[in-house]
Amino acid sequence: MRDFAAGPGAGAPLDVAVVGAGIAGLAAAWMLSRRHRVTLYERLPALGFTAASVAVHGQRADVPLRVFYPGYYPLLTRLYATLGVASEPVSYATTFSGADGEPYFRWRNLRWGSRSWPLVAPHDLLGARARRIAFGALALQRRLRAAAAVGALDGATIGEFVEAERIDRDCTEGLLWPALATIATCTTADARAVPAAVVAGYWGAGLARDSVRRAVHGADEVAARLVAPLARVVCDAGVERVEAAEGGVRLHRRGGVEERFDHVVLATHAAQALQLWPGAPADEAALLARFRTRALTVLMHRDERLMPRRRRHWSPVHAHVDPAAERPESTIWLNAVQPSLRQAPPLFQTVQPQRAPRDGTVLAEARFERPLVSLDSQAALAALRATWQRTAAQRRVWVAGSYAETGVPLLESAVRSALSVAAALGVASPLSSA
C-alpha cells in the first residue's frame, strides 16, 4: 500500500465525493465515511459492484462470480470480516479441454476445512501430455520461487521467463497461458506480457493451500454493508466532469447540476478518470493514459454444450482452450460453486465466450473493461506514486482502482488503492496489520 504525506484531511470532517461504485469506490466511500461526509455517485442505475447480478431460482448470482483466497486477498478478507460478511470455501477445480472438446488435463481440490491443496489424480496422468503439463508446472513453480528469492524477476515478463527457462511448451500452452488469461480476464498475448514477478507473487501467496472462498450472500450483501454509513448514494448520477475550484472541487452532473466538495475520488478506470478530469496536470494525465484495459463479456446461460462432452469430466470450472482463439473460454458451473443453487437445474457462467450458447439458453449478458498489468503499467504506476506522494498536501482530486496498485488487478488491489486514498485524507485503516 502506498503511503502519502499527511494530506488536508487531518483536521475537521470534510465533504467528499466518490465517483464509481465498484469495489474500489465502495471501499473508499466506506473508509472515508468513518471520518468524513461522503456522497457516492454511480453512472449505472444500480451500484456498479452489483449492477449485473441476476436473480435465478430465488437466489442472486453475482456476474461476474467473485471469489477470493485469503493468501492473495488479505485486505479483502479483513474487510469482509470487519463488515460481518460471512464467506464459505468453494471448489475451483478445473478441467482443461482442447478445440475438439476433449479433456487433456484436470486438477482437483483436496480440501480440509479452510485448507485446500491442488491434486492431479493418478488416472488423470495417464496421458503423456498431462504428465508433461504437471511436471512442467512443478518446474515452473520451483524456478519462479528461486528467481524471486534473489530478485532475478525484475524487468522480465512471464513470457520471457518461461522461454529463458525452457519450460515445457505443453505446460505453457496447455496450462499457464489459459490459467493466467482466465485469472486476469485478458488475451493470451496479454498474459505473456504480465511481469514475471506478479505471477510469482500470485502463485506464492497461498494458492496451493488456501481454499477459494465466496461471500455467502454474494456481492449484494457486501455492497449494502459498505454503503450503509454514507451520507448519500446517487445512482444514474450522470457525472460529467470535475474541476478544481478555490479550496475544493466542483462536480458537474447531467442537466447542469453543479455540486461542490472538499475532495473528489475518481474510483474508475484510468481512461474514465481522464475523461472526468479534463484539468488533470499534464504529467499525471500522461501517466494515466498508459494504463490499458481489455473488454470482457460474461454470459449466464443453461447450455451444457459449453462444458465437457461427458458429465464425468465436469469440474466447477471448465477451460476451453482453442489455439486459434486469442483467449481461452472459461465456464463456471454455478451449481458446484454456489451451494444455494446445488438443487437447481444446471446453470453456467461463461467468461470470455468463444462459442455462442444455443438460442433461448442465455439468461443475461454483461460487458466490462478489465485493467491490464504489464511492465509499462508498472513503470507508470511507480511514477504516479511519486507524483501522489509529492502532491498529497495540496491534492483535491484522487484516483482509485485495481489498476492503481501493484499485483494482478483484482478485488484486493482495488481495496488496497481505496484504503490508501482514505489514509491520505486522515482515515486510519482498521484492516491493515502493517
* DSSP SS3 for 250: strand
Residue 167: count other Cβ atoms within 10 Å of its Cβ: 19
**pLDDT in the model for residue 11:** 67
Which pLDDT belongs to residue 431? 84
Say if residue 191 is in the same domain as residue 310: yes
> For residue 253, which amino acid is it?
R
**Domain identity same for 210 and 313:** yes
CA distance 32 to 424: 10
**β partners of residue 74:** none
Mean pLDDT (whole number) for 304-327: 96
> Is residue 302 domain-shared with residue 282, that is, in the same domain?
no
Quote the CA–CA distance of 417 and 237 in Å, as a whole number: 23
Q: Is residue 44 in some structural domain?
A: yes
Has residue 36 been placed in a domain?
yes
Beta strand 239-245 pairing with 54-56: unpaired
Q: Examine residue 62 and state whether it is found in any structural domain, yes or no.
A: no
* 415 located within any domain: yes
Q: What is the residue-wise DSSP string for 261-277?
A: ESEEEE-S-HHHHHHH-
24-82: per-residue pLDDT in tens? 999 999 999 999 999 999 999 999 999 999 999 888 999 999 999 888 999 999 999 99
pLDDT (tens digit, 9 = 90+) per residue, 330-375?
999 999 999 889 999 999 999 999 999 999 999 999 999 999 999 9
Residue 103 lies in a domain: yes
Same domain? 392 vs 335: no
Residue 348 lies in domain:
87-215+293-371
CATH number at residue 403: 3.50.50.60
Q: Does 317 share its domain with 268? A: no
User: Can you tell me the distance from the alpha carbon of 308 to that of 383, in angstroms, rounded to the nearest whole number?
Assistant: 46
Query: Which residue reads 486459434 in cell numbers?
Result: 324
Residue 282 covered by a domain:
yes
Instruction: Tell me, yes or no, whether 134 and 242 share the same domain.
Output: no
Q: Is residue 59 part of a domain?
A: no
CA proximity to 172, closest of 128, 202, 133, 141: 133
Same domain, 98 and 155: yes
Asked if 259 and 136 sit in the same domain, the reply is no
Within a domain: 112: yes
Residue that terminates a domain, selected from 331, 354, 371: 371
Q: What is the domain count for the chain? A: 2
